[in-house]
Structure 1
Amino acid sequence: MSTPGSSDSHAIADSNTLGVPYPSERYAWYVVIILMIVYVFSFVDRQILSLLVDPIKTDLELSDTQISYLGGFTFALFYTFFGIPIARWADSKNRTTLITVGLAVWSFFTMLCGTASRFWAFAFYRMGVGVGEATLSPSAYSIISDMFRPERLAVAISLYSAGIYIGSGLAQVFGGIIIGFAVSATELTVPFVGPVAPWQYVFFAVGFPGLIFTLALLTVREPMRRNRSRLDPSKVIQPPPISEVLAYIRANSKTFLFHNLGIAFTSFVSYGAAYWVPSYLIRVHGLTAQETGIYYGWVVVIFGTAGIVLGGYLADVLTQRGKAAAKMQVAMLGALLGVPFSVLYPLMSTPTAALLALCPAAFAAAMPLGVAAAAIQQIMPANMRAQGSALYLFVINLIGLGLGPSAVAWCTDYIFKDPDKVNLSLLWVGTSFGLVSALLLYFGSKHYRATLAYLENYNKKHLI
């Protein structure tokens, strides 16, 4: 006897297959690994700024709030707004080409950040990084969804999403190593640029490898799309206009509202922590930038990656057991588990204790992010996936990345009025918004199940 959850899963599997064969698992996992490495480059280039806060502040004479805009808002604004038209292209054009061009663009603009001498020039280059990175996730989610069966999708997207934590952590680790090298060097020069400061050298060092890795994307073939007619499987259903995508979302507004806002507040906490925990370890516990990068970087790589992959695995296991809303429930669990550790790590009295408390905090913070992206793929029609992903990324990045780092800086600058109390800012932002996130995801679970049923009927009417 099939359960309601299992019938939902079977319906989705049927609606996505339509006679189109899946590639071999070995090749499909190879593509996931390549895309994950690209995502690693994305987050290294995005997050490296967090380790360089104090030297950039000194050289460019910026406040915590101003530098938080460079790390969050200026990037997020262009990342989110360009993501929607780029995603429409991803729903109909060659996605691997789009990712390749995007990787080259954001790597080049990362290197340009190393030439900035004023706030507005730096902001412009960060905008360019955002536009380039907007090509990646909507296209990658769509590619992975076309290569994996629904019951394997959460773990595949979670493995890709592990690039968030591998990239963020390696930005800290390699940033710390490069800073150590740069500080010890008598003079740093970059070809065609000339002498540079250590923090400027770091941007060149992390941006250049991305340009080289564009060659690896030539080994990835554009997969066959699954948005095909039921009556004629050789016919690809073209992406609908954005008005139709918005109409579909409005018809399932409660699901998307609870899901997107729940994950947005999870991201709000995560980005705030990712940006300001290094400064907390440096200012409050007296670690050097090099020590902070190496120690905290490995915490993020190991425990963040473990959390996001285990979250995907758990969601797939529960889905196979008939739990239709498993992805929402796992996301809620991660958000809830993160709250006590958001209280704990900022109050630790030694750097060792703080780093140990950050291990479970990083694990819990990572759990929701892979399953949340997989949830969007599961509830969107196949010919709307990239656009649905872009709208989801628009919400979570505008709120999470655009405001999360600045919220911590606002608390530090205007409430506590002391840079050395950044730990208290992290505590209040992490606990309050973590609880809000868990509640939203809890209430969204029942609406998510209703949207799965809606999708089945929608596909019967439109995939003809």
Structure 2
Amino acid sequence: MLQRAGRTGEASLMNNLNKPPYPSPKRSWYMVALLTLAYFISYIDRTVIGLLVGPIQADLGVTDSQMGLLLGLAFGIFYATMGLPLGWLADRTRRVSIVSCAIALWSAATALCGLASNYLHLFLLRMSVGVGEAALSPCTMSMVADSFPKEKRGKAIAVYSMALSLGTATAYYAIGALLAALRGVEVLDWPLVGAIRPWQAVFIIVGVPGLLLALAMLTVREPVRRDLKQGTSSAPWLMFRYLFSNWKTYLTFVLPFCLMTTVAYTHFWMPEMFVRTWGMEAPEFAKTKAIVTLVCAPATVFSAGALSDYLVRRGQDNAPLAIAVAGTFLFVPTGFLIGLMPGTTSAFIVLGMSLVGIATTTATGLTALLMITPPQFRGQISAVYYMAISITGLTLGPSTVGWLSDWFNGGTGIAGFDAFLESVLPGATGAKGLALAFAAVPLIYGSIVLALAPVTLRCFRRELARIREN
């Protein structure tokens, strides 16, 4: 027995000695910095359309329901479904090249939205933005896992995740200032482009800088793939077989994050909701939203990631998911209350609390996912994760708000129900129908996920125990 134990120990030592060292912190953090900047730009390109709802509807003549599809489904169709084949590529080919090409694609598509002359053109270009952005996070998670040991990944992923809130804040502040500067301008005449509307100019200004970042990304050195057992395969059917054999763990795992994206993507409607509910103009809303986001979200994301690393180093491997679930219990009730507040000041205070909850959930989800995912499937399972939360968030979030808003506006026609809606929010069957629709999303979907939270945590702990045993 002692001889066998000695041979096992020697084999373990030799395996550790044969593993390539992690890249230097300088190289790893340079990679994280560029990937974070890419995520930052991607989120600006993704959310800019939310500030342009009014002008686009005025020029293209689309309804709230159609706009809901443009905000969510047009982008989400390929953002969700292309992630899987791109994740498979991330597990097999040079990830830096994939990211560079992806940045160039979504940036060019965003700029070309400024040349769209009808709803169909804009819809197709938003689909192209989704294709490009689908590649970023699966590649990022794979590269981060190969660049940082387990106990240091939380902070790196948290820094990357901070780009969501920083990108949102920058988009709202900068684009709000740009819209304010263009207020009263009917048409711009640009060289090579010709006559365009101010909202079209915004798309072009936002899209072009990403093309430069696509070139800068090529300066990143590809990380060496780590922890792969000899003879292991990353074939998609093997990945799906692994997922199906652990379906309870992964299904319950993804629920809090599907809820988070569903609630977060309803924020595309927020500028228009403030206009209709309280008469707050889009540029003024944008600047205030930017300040609230900067105050509440980035520090929360970083703190949650640092706390996750601290607890994991002390043996609490379930901490990343527990932290994420805790965030849902904050953003669901506060998300419900935003549109029901009596004025803009109280609405922004409650919004700040909701953003803290969303940021907490965002920060540690991927850290938890990597802990239960085999190395050969990291890119693909990260892609499946993003596919699940994106399809859910982008289809249910903006679209549910748009459909409910159209249904509430002018009355539902259901006896007694309209009177109930008016008692909840005076004006709900008129101008404030959008606010009530906005409030309904976290209430409807959140109640289900919160009820299942104990099951989510129990399945995750069970999977961690199984991995430790093996």
Please report the TM-score for the alignment, with normalisation by the length of structure 1: 0.90
Amino acid at match of 1:311: A
TM superposition shift of 1:305: 1.8
Match of 2:262 among 254, 257, 268: 268
Q: Distance in 2 between matches of 1:267 and 1:329?
A: 18
Aligned counterparts of 2:308 and 2:302: Cα–Cα separation in 1: 10
CA contact (8 A) 1:68 1:406 kept: yes
CA distance in 1, matches of 2:83, 2:17: 27
Say whether 1:99 aligns with 2:106: no
Aligned-partner SS, 2:452? helix
Deviation of the 1:219 alpha carbon: 2.5
- What is the CA–CA distance in structure 1 between the aligned matches of 2:461 and 2:237, rounded to whole Å? 24
CA distance in 1, matches of 2:287, 2:317: 40
CA contact (8 A) 2:408 2:433 kept: no
Match of 1:323 in 2: 316
Shift of the alpha carbon at 1:298?
Answer: 2.4
Q: Aligned-pair distance for 1:255?
A: 1.0
Question: Given the alignment of the two structures, is residue 337 of structure 1 paired with residue 330 of structure 2, yes or no?
Answer: yes
- Kept in 2: contact 1:332–1:442 (CA 8 A): no
Structure 2 match to 1:232? none
Deviations 1:300-346 (A, max 9, x none): 23312223222222222222222221121111100001233123322
Point out the more displaced range, 322-331 or 307-316.
307-316
Q: Distance in 1 between matches of 2:15 and 2:300?
A: 30
> What aligned pairs does 1:103-252 form with structure 2 within 5 A after superposition?
103-185=103-185, 187-229=187-229, 239-252=233-246
1:448 and 2:460 matched? yes
Letter in 2 for 1:208: V
Q: Show CA shifts across 1:405-437 (max 9, x none).
A: 111111111135435322211222123323333
Aligned length: 438
**What's 2:247 paired with?**
253
Tell me how far 1:447 sits from its aligned partner.
1.3
Q: Which amino acid aligns with 1:254?
A: K
Pair 1:145–1:82, CA change in 2 (3 A): same
Conserved? CA contact 2:39–2:160, under 8 Å: yes
Contact 2:333/2:442 (CA < 8 Å) preserved in 1? no
Contact 1:262 1:440 in 2 (8 A): no
4+ residue runs of structure 1 moved beyond 4 angstroms? Answer: 14-18, 184-187
Q: Quote the offset at 1:29 in angstroms.
A: 2.1
Partner of residue 366, structure 1: 359
3-state SS, counterpart of residue 335 of structure 1: helix
Structure 1's unaligned 5+ residue stretches are: 1-13, 230-234, 459-464
Q: TM-score, normalised by structure 2?
A: 0.88
2:394 paired with 1:382: no
Other-structure match for 1:426: 438
Which string of whole-angstrom CA distances, capped at 9 and with x for unpartnered residues, describes residues 89-108 of structure 1?
A: 01111111100000000000
Match of 1:27 in 2: 27
Q: Partners of 1:395 and 1:92 in 2: how far apart?
A: 22
**Paired amino acid for 1:201:** A
Q: Which string of whole-angstrom CA distances, capped at 9 and with x for unpartnered residues, describes residues 38-59 of structure 1?
A: 0011110000010110110111
Contact 1:87–1:390 (CA under 8 A) maintained in structure 2: yes
CA distance in 2, matches of 1:442, 1:145: 28
Q: What secondary structure sits across from 2:23 in the alignment?
A: coil
- CA shift digits 1:244-303 (9 cap, x unpaired): 11111112111100111231122111111x211111222212121111111112222331
Match of 2:400 in 1: 407
* Counterpart Cα distance in 1 of 2:202 and 2:315: 48
The residue aligned with 1:277 is 270
Q: Which structure has the greater CA radius of gyration?
A: 2
- Could you tell me how far apart the structure 1 residues matched to 2:17 and 2:257 are? 29
In structure 1, C-alpha distance between the alignment counterparts of 2:143 and 2:164, rounded to whole Å: 18
Q: Report the alpha carbon displacement of residue 359 of structure 1 after superposing the two structures with TM.
A: 1.0
Check the 8 A contact 1:91/1:383 in 2, yes or no: yes
1:437 is aligned to 2:430: no
Amino acid at match of 1:146: D
| Alpha-carbon distance in 2 for matches of 1:443, 1:216 | 44
1:17 and 1:47 map into 2 onto residues whose CA distance is 46
Q: Residue type matched to 2:241 in 1?
A: A
Question: Is the contact made by 1:40 and 1:166 (CA closer than 8 Å) also made in structure 2?
Answer: yes
SS of equivalent residue, structure 1 residue 147: coil
Partner Cα separation in structure 1 for residue 163 and residue 446 of structure 2: 22
1:280 partner letter: M
Instruction: Verify the 8 A CA contact 1:152 1:316 in the aligned structure 2.
Output: yes
- The CA RMSD measured in Å over matched residues stands at 2.0
Q: State how far apart, in whole Å, the 1-side matches of 2:197 and 2:309 are.
A: 48
Give yes or no for contact 1:263–1:372 (8 Å, CA) kept in 2: yes
Tell me the amino acid that sits aligned with residue 415 of structure 1.
F
Tell me by how many angstroms 1:130 deviates. Answer: 0.5
Query: Which amino acid is 2:433 matched to?
Result: K
SS in 1 for 2:82: helix
Q: Contact conserved, 1:109 with 1:125, CA < 8 A, in 2?
A: yes
CA distance in 2, matches of 1:367, 1:15: 36
Matched residue SS, 1:214: helix
Give the stretch that moved more between structures: 193-202 or 322-331: 322-331
Distance 1:344 1:15, change over 3 A: farther
C-alpha distance in 2 between matches for 1:430 and 1:186? 38
Does structure 2 retain, via aligned residues, the 8 Å contact 1:407–1:429? yes
Counterpart residue identity of residue 118, structure 1: N
Q: 1:194 to 1:335 in 2, by over 3 A?
A: same
How much identity, in percent, do the aligned residues show? 34
Q: 1:352 to 1:309 in 2, by over 3 A?
A: same
Matched AA of 1:424: L
In 2, Cα distance between equivalents of 1:113 and 1:355: 30
| C-alpha displacement of 1:187 | 4.6
Query: In the aligned structure 2, how far is the partner of 1:209 from the partner of 1:432?
Result: 39
Shift of 1:184: 5.0
CA distance in 2, matches of 1:148, 1:249: 25
SS of 1:189's partner is strand
